[in-house]
Amino acid sequence: MEPSSQGRGGIEIRPVYGPDDRAGDLPERLGEPGSFPYTRGIHPSMYTSRPWTMRQYAGFASAAESNRRYRDLLRNGTTGLSVAFDLPTQMGYDSDAPEAAGEVGKVGVAIDSLDDMRALFDGIPLDEVSTSMTINAPAAVLLLLYQLVAEEQGADPARLRGTVQNDVLKEYIARGTYIFPPAPSLRLVSDTFAYCAESLPSWNTISISGYHMAEAGATAAQELAFTLADGIEYVNCALDAGLDVDAFAPRLSFFFVARSSVLTEVAKFRAARRLWAHIMRDRFGATEPRSMKLRFHTQTAGVELTAQQPEVNMARVTVQALAAVMGGTQSLHTNSYDEAIALPTDKSARLALRTQQVIAAETDLTDTVDPFAGSYAVEALTDRVEEEARALIDAVFAHGSAVSAIEAGFQKGEIERSAYATAKRIDAGEQLVVGVNAYTGDGEDAPYQPLKVDPAIEAAQVERLRECRSARDGEDVRSALSRLRTVAAGTGNVLYPLKDALAAGATVGEVCGTLAEEWGRYVPADGL
């Protein structure tokens, strides 16, 4: 028999598996689809009754330009919108801030004010679509702008559906778009939980994200463990704020990567559901079944796309999408093949969507639930991922809390070591990457024409912001920001004065700056 190999997902893969490789009583560990511990899926029928939500992450340049892309995607069959914001917006800066220079509209859409949010969703009825917003430190701000636009359209807030990422802890671990220190950041998260329970009951208040940890180099077990550990921290935070676990837990959701290591990824998704079900029932005493169901969005692995031979990325994305579907995702974004080079073009974004549609319409994967159930290999891998993830969760909380582990650099250090090991294997040719260290070919590909954001966008956005400020009632804005500061200094829910300030015309930078003056800005221990 051939020796075992270190899988691309960081889990050992053996050449042959058999019945002795499965841990414990299989029927008890599996359950039935839609029943505890949800290993086989959170719904009894899964895709046999309705496919996953097909989202395409999009946003660039101006709000008007992004609106055009959203309309195109909706016409072509997207069933949910997914908004990418530019870096200044993610960091709570207005487009005319010195820190924003050169970054406006580059990796997402610039949103400075209620006017921009109106333009972003012009002509799109917000009570008829599901919208995901990839925003973290200022998540509450963008969510409230979205609600204000929906209310202007006449929509009932109770009918608004979607997700705001709102996961600031992973920013300290793997991404870096934080604003405030951990304690006030967690307060803002729990205030959002409470606000949405009252005002936006159908909204998913957080998407606890492992995707960015995987992009930074985490193994499958690390991605799963550190994501669920952050989830535990958020639940503890909400409980400390006096919320009932079964009141907010059903609105929690998760966000994972789908790599090309299909078997490991399927096992990861199945292990994630089983782990979270036990965490919510056994650790937090949840009694509502919806509180124990891990719902998650998946994005194919951008980190595995290559600038060399970019068309090959179409094969990678297809394989990764299959892993997500076979693992039972509720929502999926397929990367465009050109994302390793530039923002996706209209054509490449449409092709990425068509990849999902082919899987849903032209394969038999929607005909049965959990097709890998009972597989010797997948069941053994599911047990292995669960075991490794559980040990890492224990290691996180040996520091006292997920925040304490973050401050000690534990998760970041573990991920960096895994990333380095992967880079060494690729450099040594032990891990093959087609077009990079294998099958590079001799010919030259035809020149690729990337999408480029016009530099004039920044000047136009700054002028738009200037006009917005000049048209508002300055005294109303100052008064609303003063009320926001007062609540931030106390213990009340900041989302209510935050919404008033935005409705009065305050900008994203102004409200975030007001909170930062009260709460401070986070500077990591290493100063980076």
Q: Which residues contact 376 (CB under 8 A, 6 or more apart)?
A: 17, 18, 19, 21, 22
In whole angstroms, what is the distance from residue 101 CA to residue 457 CA? 12
In whole angstroms, what is the distance from residue 180 CA to residue 190 CA? 14
How is residue 84 annotated by DSSP? E
In whole angstroms, what is the distance from residue 40 CA to residue 32 CA? 6
Q: Provide DSSP, 161-179.
A: EEEE----HHIIIII----
Give me 89's structure tokens.
């917006």
Asked if the structure places residue 448 within a domain, the reply is: no
Phi then psi dihedrals of residue 251, to 5 deg: -100, 5
C-alpha closest to that of 165 among 149, 201, 147, 141: 141
**45-52: Cβ within 8 A, 24+ apart:** 45/369, 46/328, 46/369, 46/370, 47/325, 47/360, 47/365, 47/366, 47/369, 48/366, 48/367, 48/368, 48/369, 51/360, 51/366, 52/325, 52/329, 52/330, 52/331, 52/332, 52/356, 52/360
Domain limits at 506?
472-519
pLDDT at position 135 is 97
Give pTM, 2 decimals.
0.92
C-alpha closest to that of 228 among 251, 210, 205: 210
Domain co-membership, 476 together with 423: no
Domain co-membership, 362 together with 483: no
Give me 152's structure tokens.
């202007």
Place of tokens 């949405």: 196
Amino acid at 146: Y
Domain co-membership, 328 together with 226: yes
Q: Which residues contact 476 (CB under 8 A, 6 or more apart)?
A: 504, 505
CA 112 to chain centre: 22
C-alpha closest to that of 214 among 301, 335, 109, 307: 301
pLDDT at position 525 is 74
User: In whole angstroms, how far apart are CA 341 and each of 105, 304, 311, 336?
Assistant: 16, 13, 11, 10
Domain co-membership, 388 together with 497: no
3-class DSSP state of 81: strand
Asked if the structure places residue 446 within a domain, the reply is: no
CA dihedral 406, 411, 413, 416 (to 10 degrees): -130
Across 421-498, where does the E strand assignment appear?
Answer: none
Residue 141 sits in a domain whose CATH number is 3.20.20.240
pLDDT at position 441 is 78
User: In whole angstroms, how far apart are CA 339 and each of 61, 203, 229?
Assistant: 16, 29, 30
Q: Pairing mode, if any, of strands 161-164 and 12-13?
A: unpaired
Per-residue pLDDT 10s for the chain (528 aa) are 333 345 677 888 999 999 888 666 666 778 899 999 999 999 999 999 999 999 988 888 899 999 999 999 999 999 889 999 999 999 999 999 999 999 999 999 999 999 999 999 999 999 999 999 999 999 999 999 999 999 999 999 999 999 999 999 999 999 999 999 999 999 999 999 999 999 999 999 999 999 999 999 999 999 999 999 999 999 999 999 899 999 999 999 999 999 999 999 999 999 999 999 999 999 999 999 999 999 999 999 999 999 999 999 999 999 999 999 999 999 999 999 999 998 888 899 999 999 999 999 999 999 999 999 999 999 999 999 999 999 999 999 999 999 999 999 999 999 999 999 999 999 999 999 999 999 997 655 666 777 777 889 999 999 999 999 999 999 999 999 999 999 999 999 999 999 999 999 999 999 999 999 999 999 987 644
Q: Which residues contact 136 (CB under 8 A, 6 or more apart)?
A: 90, 165, 166, 167, 168, 170, 171, 175, 177, 178
How is residue 85 annotated by DSSP? B
Asked if the structure places residue 526 within a domain, the reply is: no
Asked if the structure places residue 434 within a domain, the reply is: no
Domain co-membership, 379 together with 514: no
Asked if the structure places residue 458 within a domain, the reply is: no
In whole angstroms, what is the distance from residue 214 CA to residue 267 CA? 16
Considering 359, 393, 427, which residue would you say is the last residue of a domain?
427
In whole angstroms, what is the distance from residue 62 CA to residue 117 CA? 10
Domain co-membership, 77 together with 178: yes
Domain co-membership, 231 together with 316: yes
In whole angstroms, what is the distance from residue 254 CA to residue 299 CA? 11
Instruction: Report, in angstroms and rounded to the nearest whole number, the Rg of the chain calculated over CA atoms.
Output: 23
Domain co-membership, 412 together with 479: no
In whole angstroms, what is the distance from residue 110 CA to residue 467 CA? 15
In whole angstroms, what is the distance from residue 475 CA to residue 104 CA? 28
Q: How many domains does the chain have?
A: 2
- Do residues 504 and 476 make contact, with C-beta atoms less than 8 angstroms apart? yes
Domain co-membership, 411 together with 478: no
Asked if the structure places residue 7 within a domain, the reply is: no
In whole angstroms, what is the distance from residue 330 CA to residue 295 CA? 6
Domain co-membership, 277 together with 177: yes
pLDDT at position 181 is 96
Domain co-membership, 357 together with 476: no
In whole angstroms, what is the distance from residue 332 CA to residue 43 CA? 17
Considering 393, 427, 461, which residue would you say is the last residue of a domain?
427
How is residue 249 annotated by DSSP? G
pLDDT at position 356 is 97
Asked if the structure places residue 525 within a domain, the reply is: no
Domain co-membership, 43 together with 120: yes
Asked if the structure places residue 102 within a domain, the reply is: yes
